[in-house]
Every structure is written in C-alpha cells, then in structure tokens.
C-alpha cells in the first residue's frame, strides 16, 4: 500500500514538472516542398521550450487549419480529385493563441513513378557501371 501511494505521488510530481515547461516559440519544419494528392502529408511542428529543449508538437499542442483538405492530427489529407495549385495551412499554439504560423504549400503536379526499379535491375545497373569503369 505504501509503495502504491509513493508511486502515485511520484507520477503526479513528474506530470507537474512536465506541464510546467512552456513553449516559448513554435516553428514549422517541412520535410517536403509540395503536398501529394491522395495521401497523408505530415506537417512537422516543433516547439522551443523555455528550458532550451526542442519538443515535437502534435495536435494536443497545436490547432491545425487548412484552406483545402482535412487534418487528422498533424497529417493533411488531400483528395485525388483536388484541382487547386496550393493549400494555405495555419498552425496555432493552443496555450498561446498569439503564436500562429500561416504558409502556403504547393500541390505536387508531376505524377509519381509508377514502378520502382527491381532488385535485379539495380544489380544489373551496378554491373554495367562496374564494367564501364574497367574499360
């Protein structure tokens, strides 16, 4: 019984310390320069904490809005049929609504390659390059 009480007190203390940290500023770090239709596009938001550490921020910390598509957590879904050229995205820190970032991302126009090279294709390509280098 005593161990359970100490465990609960310890967890409450850790939770209090974690909540005491404050996000000083929010930054959007994009992994790509365009959005793909028919897939989930991850929007990476990081928070610089008041202790100097970085924390990835998800929809528990940030409100996500967009001009087109639908957010599920940090991921923006664009339908295959979307015909627009770009999407306006706005991120707002829930604990400090003054911290807002708005930006536009273009939608990828070029279709993805239908088929990646097979393992055999890669091996043959390497053999050809190796033989060219010998000559």
The pLDDT tens digits for 36-72 are 999 999 999 999 999 999 999 999 999 999 999 999 9
Can you give the pLDDT at residue 2?
63
Instruction: Tell me the sheet residues that pair with 42.
Output: 75
CA angle, residues 85, 103, 100, in degrees to nearest 5: 150
pTM, two decimals, is 0.68
> If pLDDT is split at 50, 70 and 90, which confidence band does 112 have?
confident
Question: What is the fold of 21-106?
Answer: Immunoglobulin-like (2.60.40)
| Overall average pLDDT of the 2-29 stretch | 67
Pair 23, 96: CB distance under 8 Å: yes
Q: Rank 5-14, 23-32, 104-113, 115-124 by mean pLDDT and report only the highest.
A: 23-32
CA angle, residues 63, 66, 70, in degrees to nearest 5: 90
- Over the chain, what HEC string results? CHHHHHHHHHHHHHHHHHHHCCEEEEEECCCCCEECCCEEEECCEEEEECCCCEEEECCCCEEEEECCCEEECCEEEECCCCCCCEEEEEEEECCCCCCEEEEEEEECCCCCCCCCCCHHHHHHHHHHHHHHHHC
Query: Domain extents for the chain?
Result: 21-106
């Amino acid at each position: 019984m005593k161990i359970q009480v100490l465990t609960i007190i310890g967890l409450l203390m850790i939770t209090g310390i974690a909540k005491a940290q404050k996000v000083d500023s929010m930054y959007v770090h994009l992994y790509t320069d365009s959005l793909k239709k028919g897939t989930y596009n991850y929007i990476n938001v990081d928070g610089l904490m008041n202790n100097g550490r970085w924390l990835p921020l998800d929809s528990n910390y940030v409100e996500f809005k967009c001009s087109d598509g639908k957010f599920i957590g940090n991921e923006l879904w664009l339908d295959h049929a979307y015909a627009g050229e770009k999407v306006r995205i706005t991120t707002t820190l829930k604990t400090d609504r003054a911290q807002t970032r708005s930006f536009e991302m273009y939608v990828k126009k070029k279709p993805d390659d239908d088929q990646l090279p097979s393992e055999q294709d890669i091996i043959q390509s390497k053999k050809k390059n190796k033989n060219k280098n010998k000559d």
